[in-house]
Amino acid sequence: MKVLMVITSHDTLGNTGRKTGFWLEELAAPYYVFKDSGAEITLASPKGGRPPLDPKSNEPEFRTDLTLRFEKDTAAEAQLDKTLRLDSVRQEDFDTVFYPGGHGPMWDLAEDKHSIDLIESFLAAGKPFAVVCHSTGALRHVKTPDGKVLVEGKEVTGFTDGEEENVGLTKIVPFLVEDEMLRLGAVFSKKANWEPHVVTDGLLTTGQNPHSSGPAAKVLLSKLAERRKAPAHAK
């Protein structure tokens, strides 16, 4: 099985003067769900090369066994050093795509034409995919093959207004994930702040927050397993 993971290249937290990027748990937890299942993982980002880590995600309170495992994993770190440029990857080469979050995607992946085209090509090919936390924002311009807004009428989750308020960035981010999904006509599902929560609707799986990233990857794997068992005409 071949899994593509798309990571943000954006490192500036609005006008705060602080750094942002991807959230380490949201890369590490799904990475090992995929790796431990025997999948081949490819990492990509809009600019290629080493994507920026949100420094906050590596503070002691946010470290987990899996973030520590990732940091000691020389092969994983070598991959992270050399992410492919997003414009060089093709849906045809992968079974699925997974988008970790962090605040960075709100600025780049949400507006990136190559990202939008990539997700739309997975949709058109009938391949399941997943986004978590702030990367739900990367769906805002995505359309279905018949030209409708992807999330309209779909049940989704992502970083909630309450969680954004909790981290004090409501006025800093370019938009609020929950508000944007509701504006686009999605059915937004959420649990209490920081509770793991995963929603799946059709080909799309979404996770609410960092703690939902590993569980979202497991749901995605089970969807891929179902797809492989289905008769060819049903795919």
* Predicted confidence (pLDDT) per residue in 49-85, tens digit: 999 999 999 999 999 999 999 999 999 999 999 999 9
Element (DSSP H or E) covering residue 117: helix 113-124
For helices 24-36 and 74-81, angle between their N-to-C axes, nearest 10 degrees: 120
Average pLDDT, the chain: 96
pLDDT digits (tens, 9 = 90+) for 5-22: 999 999 999 999 999 999
- Local confidence band at 233 (pLDDT 50, 70, 90 cut-offs): low
Instruction: Assign 185 to helix, strand or coil.
Output: coil
Contact 126, 154 (CB under 8 A): no
Tell me: pLDDT of 231 over 80: no
Tell me: pLDDT of 103 over 60: yes
Q: Whole-prediction pTM value?
A: 0.97
Identity (one letter) of the amino acid at 124? A
The alpha carbon of 80 is separated from its chain's Cα centroid by a whole number of angstroms, namely 16
Instruction: Assign 40 to helix, strand or coil.
Output: strand
Instruction: List the one residue out of 77, 26, 80, 71 whose CA is nearest residue 51.
Output: 80
Tell me: pLDDT of 207 over 80: yes
pLDDT at 228: 84
